[in-house]
Amino acid sequence: QEEAQAIDQELFTEYKFSVDQLMELAGLSCATAIAKAYPPSSFTTSQPTVLVVCGPGNNGGDGLVCARHLKMFGYEPTVYYPKRPSKPLFEGLTTQCQKMDIPFLPEFPAEAAFIDELYGLVVDAIFGFSFKGAVREPFGSILSTLERITAPIASIDIPSGWDVEKGKADGLQPDMLISLTAPKKAAMHFTGRYHFLGGRFVPAALQQKYALNLPPYPDTDCVLQLT
Amino acid sequence: VPISSRQAFPLPSLPRKQPTVLVVCGPAQNGAIGLVCARHLRIFDYEPTIFYPKRSPDPLYRDFTTQCEKMDIPFLSYLPTEVQLINDAYNAVVDAVLGAEAEAGEGREPCATILATLKHVRIPIVSLDVPSGWDVEAGSSGGISPDVLVSLSAPKRCARRFLGRQHFVAGRFLPYDVQKKFELNPPEYPGTECVVAL
């Protein structure tokens, strides 16, 4: 976890990347990976509907960007975003989604069965690699519900609720994981079908410094399928 | 928009041993897009070199410059007027000098000399949005002749005069209501691609 935070720090302070830049590239990677693994034609629901659950921090921001690109790719995303930071970055991302007619749910579906009926896929953008400590409401209840759905879940960076290094055997078991920048230790405990790498912006010098040993991305793609 | 600029580079078989590309950046937004493009080219394992004689004071564009410098992308201190030197050293030139917002920009230095040199290079030129020095509506008489044009958001009027090999449009991320309002009628983008060849 500290290494991931150290890499981020260098990208922001030494390389002068803005959070906006990296979040946009990260969110685009997520949408691209989803489009590769779950093309709209593969959905069993009548429309390719996707529920994007956004948490209170940067992982939630990645989710908002992802939702916007999913819309561009022909999906029908709906966002649930209960705790919104009052920072221009997140307010801007929210506006961009709203102006693209992406609905924001006023409340979380009460039962797992409702989610399964309405959506062909759920994107878990609740907690990322900075997550520590106890899960606060409303996310505790949200995660309990998500643990009971049968629709596939795609988690951004870390399955929410998992310990960033050790995982969580009785927690969320997503079908897809999109690791951003580099896979985190928790990814070793991932047992879903699809593991993608996204966030193709780490300069070679940083990759070497932190011995990331990332396999090469194909061509000009912004995602790499690991499994 | 910057994301799409770099994807327009097909991976042709390059004539030189090293995949070198010269990216010429002007003083305003078109130049800044060139900086972002150069960074992505580096990530794609090309070897970009930047010529950025007149740097914008805009903090966002200054950060783009830092990102390039930290990624070991060299910045030339001058552009050779001897065109053969450019032809020999690079496989292609990215023209990010002037965009649609330029007015009499091409008449001022250093753009005028740059464009005079670029007019005579024999390696392919990829222009971002508008071939620099062209009138954005009417096109050019005797200006540069790019091989590839990447129209940003939507093609500009002068694109009708484009005679090069490939014309890409990078405008996938325009919201639908903006597309409708300006009657853009964009083509279908394949898959998850952010550029489409016209």
pLDDT in tens, A161-190: 998 888 888 899 999 999 999 999 999 999
pLDDT at residue B17 greater than cutoff 80: no
Sign of CA dihedral A115, A118, A121, A127: negative
Average pLDDT over residues B85-108: 81
Average pLDDT over residues B73-83: 94
DSSP code, position A203:
-
Question: Per residue in A17-63, pLDDT tens?
Answer: 999 999 999 999 999 999 999 999 999 999 999 999 999 999 999 99
Residues of chain A in contact with residue B62, where contact means CB-CB under 8 angstroms, are 16
**Residues of chain B numbered 134-163 and touching chain A (CB < 8 Å):** none
Q: Which residue has the higher pLDDT, B106 or A220?
A: A220
* Cross-chain Cβ contact B192/A15 below 8 Å: no
- Own/partner contacts of B150-154, CB < 8 Å, gap of 24 or more, are B150/B4, B150/B5, B150/B8, B150/B126, B150/B195, B151/B198, B152/B1, B152/B4, B152/B5, B152/B33, B152/B99, B152/B128, B153/B1, B153/B184, B154/B182, B154/B184, B154/B186
Residues of chain A in contact with residue B11, where contact means CB-CB under 8 angstroms, are 219-220
Q: How confident is the model at residue B166 (pLDDT cuts 50, 70, 90)?
A: confident
Percent of chain A clearing pLDDT 70 (strictly above): 100
Q: What is the CATH number of the domain that holds A196?
A: 3.40.50.10260
- Cβ atoms of A187 and A177 within 8 Å: the answer is yes
* Distance (Å) from the alpha carbon of A220 to chain B's nearest alpha carbon: 6
Q: How confident is the model at residue B193 (pLDDT cuts 50, 70, 90)?
A: confident
What range does the domain containing A18 cover? Answer: 1-226
Q: What is the pLDDT of residue B13?
A: 47
DSSP code, position A224:
E
Output the average pLDDT for chain A. 94
Average pLDDT over residues B99-123: 79
pLDDT at residue B33 greater than cutoff 70: yes
Instruction: Name the most confidently modeled range: A127-136, B61-70, B173-182.
Output: B61-70
The residue among B21, B41, B69, B70 with the most chain A CBs within 10 A of its CB, best to mutate, is: B70
Output the average pLDDT for chain B. 84
Question: Per residue in B118-148, pLDDT tens?
Answer: 999 999 899 998 898 887 777 776 678 898 8
Average pLDDT over residues B194-198: 81
- Cβ atoms of B68 and B98 within 8 Å: the answer is no
Q: Where are the domains of chain B?
A: 1-197
Q: Structurally, how many domains does chain A consist of? A: 1
CATH of B1-197, one of 3.30.360.10, 3.40.50.10260, 1.10.3720.10, 3.30.70.2740: 3.40.50.10260
Token representation of residue A219: 């061509």
Token representation of residue A5: 């935070």
The answer to whether residue B172 neighbours chain A at the CB level (below 8 Å) is yes
> What is the predicted ipTM?
0.86
The answer to whether residue B9 neighbours chain A at the CB level (below 8 Å) is yes
pLDDT at residue B11 greater than cutoff 50: no
**Which among A18, A96, A204 has CB closest to B63?**
A18
pLDDT at residue A147 greater than cutoff 70: yes
